[in-house]
Copies of this chain bind each other. A is one copy, B any other.
Amino acid sequence: MSTEDPKNTLDFEVENMNFHRLLVAVDEDDSTSSIRAFNYAVTLAKTYRVPLAIVTILETGDLNIYDSLSPDVLSDHRQEVLDKINQYAAKAKDFGVTDVTPLIGEGKPGNIIVNKIIPDWRPDLLIVGSETTDKNRLFIGSQASYMAQNAACSVIVVRANDM
């Protein structure tokens, strides 16, 4: 009987598996999938009482050429992103996550998250939304795909709407 063939018999013990250190990426547009990703992240962090970092990336490439030459505009934009990430952190704490760390990066989201934020924060799970509501931006979609492929940790891509 082929089930008795050793090469065809499963020889591992099933184990509980959970994640112990989380990173959620939220985009600047608060797209639906980004908010769902955030909700899932805080649910996991609260349920399993694990640390959660919330990161948003200031996409400097998004500013137009004139804006990006102006230190004032860039500074205002930085302040907006900082306010936003602190509001996300406050919401996570209000929800019941005790260990919350807000993080900000600057540049191309997938690249910064994979090559800078993850090596620094060392999460075992990255949670990202699948897309942005703004078709002109690339935060998620190609960025989520890049992260799923290149992150040194497990990655969950959360869709805006399930079937």
Contacts and interface: CB of A to CB of B under 8 A. Distances in A.
Chain multiplicity (copies): 2
A17 B36 contact: yes
A39 interface: yes
A144 B145 CA distance: 10
Contacts of A35: 12
A116 to B, nearest CB: 14
> Chain A's interface: helix, strand, loop or mixed, by majority?
helix
A39 B15 CA distance: 6
Contacts of A84: 8, 10
Contacts of A94: 14
A98 interface: no
A21 B85 CA distance: 31
